[in-house]
Amino acid sequence: MKTHDTGGQQKGYRRIIPSMTALLQFEAVARLSSFTLAAKELGVTQAAVSKQIKALEENVGAQLFHRLHRSIDLTYEGQALFAVISESLQKIATVFDDLNQQGGRKEITLGATASFSQFQIMPRLQALREAVPDLKLRLATQMFTGDLRTQETDLVVRYGNGQWADGEAILLFDEALFPVCSPAWLARNPAPRTLEELAAASLLEADSTSEGWMNWQGWFKALGLRTQKLQFSLRCNLHANAVHAALHGHGIGLGWGRVVEHLLGTGELVRLQPFVVRPAEAYYVVIPDGRSASAEDWAVIRWLQDRAPLND
């Protein structure tokens, strides 16, 4: 069996990092740009903080702060050290927070649009609870895409090209867009047979959002039909409201297949064939920068990915 020489020689990280206290105090000073504020936050004297920073500078062999008349600034070396320490401490704090919550179980905050939450997540929650019985889930409804670095979310569902600077994007599934209506509406009205007949029908519109969702005008254009100004029977600023309007028989809505697939399965909505647009964009789940996905997070991601292919 391999033995370790412990005779007087310091081993591991302790040899390279002599004082974790100094690192914690350095992080506070760098973050607050003040020795005084850092001392107050840490509950020590300003002199004690100054002493730790001076010892740290001597240890690394470089000046970490420019000490100006009424302020301090990080040097190049200080900036490099602060970037690594702040990220590492955030990850450590996240793990401690996870472990401290209900025996290691944390509440996962999942961000999604209202349509996705209502029509894609809610109908399938029981399957998630069966897969992860002790999961604590919080849904955060988002109308528009925001910078994840300023939000308190663990996972966010986004629609787009998967290229975002504020997190790691993991592909969930593709999308298809087609007209849908209720059986009651179809019983009162003839089914459109051409794009021209569809454009003249009672359409339900939902405003486009920064998520990149297509509206009726863009949908017709993608199929090669240049329409004049469409006459909508109802316009909504949320796609979820347009779906509810279609459910109540008020007209034809533009169905986002992944959003309405449950309603098609129950027969509450009917897909009008053969019209369909398959966009290049898809759905992704994004893990925000600075966050590490837990086992529960990955369980939610796998549950979100568990979808059958969309049929033409």
153 — pLDDT class (breaks 50, 70, 90): confident
45 — pLDDT class (breaks 50, 70, 90): very high
Query: Would you say residue 308 has pLDDT above 70?
Result: no
Average pLDDT over residues 15-22: 76
Q: How is residue 240 written in tokens?
A: 């979820």
Is the Cβ–Cβ distance between 207 and 236 less than 8 Å? yes
CATH number, position 30: 1.10.10.10
166 — pLDDT class (breaks 50, 70, 90): confident
Minimum mean pLDDT among 17-31, 89-103, 197-211, 215-229: which range? 89-103
Per-residue DSSP letter, 277:
B
Q: Looking up tokens 């470089």, which residue turns up?
A: 62
Minimum mean pLDDT among 64-73, 118-127, 146-155: which range? 146-155
Query: Would you say residue 249 has pLDDT above 80?
Result: yes
CATH number, position 201: 3.40.190.290
93 — pLDDT class (breaks 50, 70, 90): confident
**What's the confidence (pLDDT) of residue 4?**
45
Of 100, 123, 143, the residue at which a domain comes to its end is: 100
Average pLDDT over residues 9-33: 77
Range of the domain at 223: 177-271
**What's the confidence (pLDDT) of residue 198?**
92
Average pLDDT over residues 263-290: 91
CATH number, position 296: 3.40.190.10
**What's the confidence (pLDDT) of residue 17?**
72
Of 100, 121, 143, the residue at which a domain comes to its end is: 100
**What's the confidence (pLDDT) of residue 10?**
45
Would residue 138 count as lying in a domain? yes
Domain total in the chain? 3
**What's the confidence (pLDDT) of residue 12?**
60
* Same-domain status, 242 and 265: yes
Would residue 245 count as lying in a domain? yes
146 — pLDDT class (breaks 50, 70, 90): low
Sort 1 into a burial class: Cβ within 10 Å, 0-12 / 13-18 / 19+. Answer: exposed
**What's the confidence (pLDDT) of residue 1?**
42
Q: What CA–CA distance (Å, rounded) separates 29 from 231? A: 61
Would residue 204 count as lying in a domain? yes
Residues 6+ apart with CB under 8 A from 115: 238, 239, 240, 243, 256, 259
Would residue 77 count as lying in a domain? yes
148 — pLDDT class (breaks 50, 70, 90): low
Q: What is the residue-averaged pLDDT of the chain?
A: 83
Query: Would you say residue 104 has pLDDT above 60?
Result: no
Residue 33's region, left for phi above 0, alpha for psi from -120 to 50, else beta, is left
**What's the confidence (pLDDT) of residue 70?**
78
User: Alpha-carbon Rg of the chain, whole angstroms?
Assistant: 28
